[in-house]
Structure 1
Amino acid sequence: MVRKDMESRKVQKTGVSTITVSLPKEWVSANKLKAGDQVNVEVQTDGSLVIDPKERKKGEPVRSVVQVERDEPTEHLTRKLIGAYLAGFNIIEVRSKERMGLDTKHAVKDFARLVIGPEVIEETSNSVVMHDLSDPVELPQKKCVRRMHLIVESMHRDAVTAFDNGDEGLAKDVIDRDQDVDRLYWMTVKQFNLIQKDRSLADKIGVDIYDSMSLMLVARMMERIGDHAEKIAKLAVGTLEQRASEKDMARVKKLSEEALDVLARSVEAFFLHDINASNNTIDRALKLAQDAGALMPALQVSANKGAAIKASFLDSIIRTIMYSADIAELAINDGMRLEKT
C-alpha cells in the first residue's frame, strides 16, 4: 500500500545516457524551488536517496533559544536544556526578558557540567550561550555503551560492598558515579537523534540507523541498572544499623555476582550479535530471577524496617538481572535482522 505522502514515478531517459526522475510539484512549490536551483542528493546505506532542498554547510551550528520566564523553577529550565541537548542543537542560548537571576545562571552552568560537550562561551545580564564541543566520532555510541557497562558494573559491586561493610563513604561515591552514567546515556540518545537528521553521521561512527536505535535502547537499560546500583548505595547510607545477617548477605552477594555475570554475557552477546549465547543468557537470567524471588520470603520473616530494606535490596538485584535479559533479547532481534539481510 502506497503512503499518502509517497508517489510512484517512472525513471525516464532524456539523453544518450542520462536518466532522470521528476520531483513532485507540491514538494517543489512548498520549498519554493525553480529551474536552475540546486538540491543536495545523498545516497543512504540502504540504497535510498535523500533530497534536501536547502543548501546546508557541513558542521554549520544549529541554534536553539531557550526562553526563561519570570519565576520559572530551575528544574523546568534544566529539563528544557536537556531536551535541546538531546535534539542535537550545538548552540544553546538561554535568554530572559529581564535581568537573569543568579539561581538561573547557576542552573545553566550546572547543566553544562551535567552533560558531555556544552561549554559556556558568552554571558550577559539576560543571557547565557553554550556551545556543544563534543564530537560523536570521538565518543560514538558503541564506546558510550561499553563505558556505561564498566561503570554500572563497578557501581553495583561497590554498592553491595558498601551495604555489607557499612561503608558510607563508598556508598556516596557510588551515588556520585550515577551522574557519569547519565551523561553517557544522554550522549547516546543525542547521537541517535543526530543520525535521524544526518544519515552520513552513521557511517562516520560505524553504525546504521537500526544499530543506533538498539544502542540507545541498551544505554537506557544500562542507565536503569545504574539507578538500581544507586538505590542499593542509598540503602547502605541510610541503614547502617539495619544490615543483613551474614547468612542472608552471603546469599545476596552470590546472587549479585551472578547478576553481573549475566549482564556481562548479555553485553558481549549484543555486540557479537550472538543469538545462541543470548538465548542461553536469557534462560539463565529467568532461572536466576526465579531463585532470587524465592529468597524474598526468607528475607521478610519479620515486618521490621530491616526486612523491608533487605527486600528492596534484593528487588534491585532482580531488576538488574531482568534488564540484562532485555539486552540479550535485543541481541537476538539484531542478530535475526542481520541474518535476513
Structure 2
Amino acid sequence: MSSRKPKLILVYEPKKACFDRLVADNHVPERAVEIASYLAQSTDIAAEFDALAAACQKRGLSFAPVTLDAAASVLAGEDPKTTLVWTLTDGIAYFRGGAAPALARLNGLKAIGADDALFALCQDKFRSGAVLGALGLPVPRAGLARDGAWLVAPPDSPAGWFVKPNRLGAKIGIWPDSRCHDLGHALELSRRVFAAYRDDVVVQPYVAGRNARASFLGLKPDTGAEAIGIALVDSGSDFQTMQDSLALYGDTGVAAKAAGNYAEPLLLPVGASQPRADARIRRIAESLMVGLGLRDVFSIDFRVEADDSVHLIEFEVCPGLPCFDFRDYCRQQWGLSLANAMAETAMNRLRA
C-alpha cells in the first residue's frame, strides 16, 4: 500500500501560454487575445489556489495546480493509487486541455470527468451535434461552411439562422449580426470567422426562447441526475457576443469589477416558472449521462421556449468552475463554496 498522501492535481492552461503559441503560429495578436480569453477561468481559478489547498488539507489531501505544459512530466511521476487529476480546460485545436485526461489515462491515474474522447467531441460542434441527433435528442440540425463555401448545406429556417465558429465554442467570434435572415449573409460570416480565427462555422436554424444552463458536480460517487441544477441565464440580450464574454471573465472581468461596471447575468431556477421544461431538461441530461457518458462534472446549454419546448445547444465536459453560474450551483445544490465542493468531490473519489 502506498504511503504517499492522497493528492488532487488541477491541470490548467494559462492564457499567456495559449496567446504566445497562437502568435507564433501567425495569428493576429488582437485575434489571439480574443481566442485566449476563453481560458479566462485559468486566470480566475488562480485566486482559489490557497482556498483549495486549505480545503484539501482539511480533508487529508494535498493540492497541486499544474500548468498544461508541465503536465506530461508531472503526471508521469505520480502514484496511481493516491493521485486524482482534474482538468480545468478542454480543447483540441486552439486550446490543448483535452490532452490532460489522456495523459492521466496513459499514466494509470484516476481522473475527474468524462472520457478523453468526449473532450474532443464537445469541442467540434458539428460532429457533436450529429452524435446528439443520432441519440434522438432535440438538437438543431446544422450546416457547415468554410470561408464562404458550404461543406454541408443548412436546413431551411423561416426564423433565420444562427452562425457560430465550429471549434471555438458558442461565444468566441460571435458578433451582434450572428443571427441572420439570409444564407448569403451566413456565408459572409463564415468568411469573417475564417479570416479572423481560421475556423469553420456551424449554421443552425435560429431557435427562440431563453438561455438555460444545466450544471452538475458529482460530489459523491453515486450522485445522479437528481443533483443537476437548471437555471435560466438572463443577461438582457438574446445571445452572448464576444464583447459580452470578455466583460465577464479574466482580467477584463476583474477590471470591470474594480470600475464598478461588472454585471453578472441573473440566474433564475427553470423549475420555478416552467416545471415541464425543467423536467424535460433533466431527462435530456440523464440521457447524456447514460448514452454519451457524461459524468462527474459538466454543463449543458439549452434554449427554452415559452411553451416549454427545449432545444439542446451544446455540452461542456469542463464547465467554467470559477464562473458565476457554477459557483452559484455549488452554493445552491451542495451548500459549499467552490473550493470546498471541489475538495469534497476529490476526497470522495479518492476514497471510493
Provide TM-score, normalisation by structure 2.
Answer: 0.23
Larger radius of gyration: 1
Give the structure with the larger strand fraction: 2
Provide TM-score, normalisation by structure 1.
Answer: 0.23
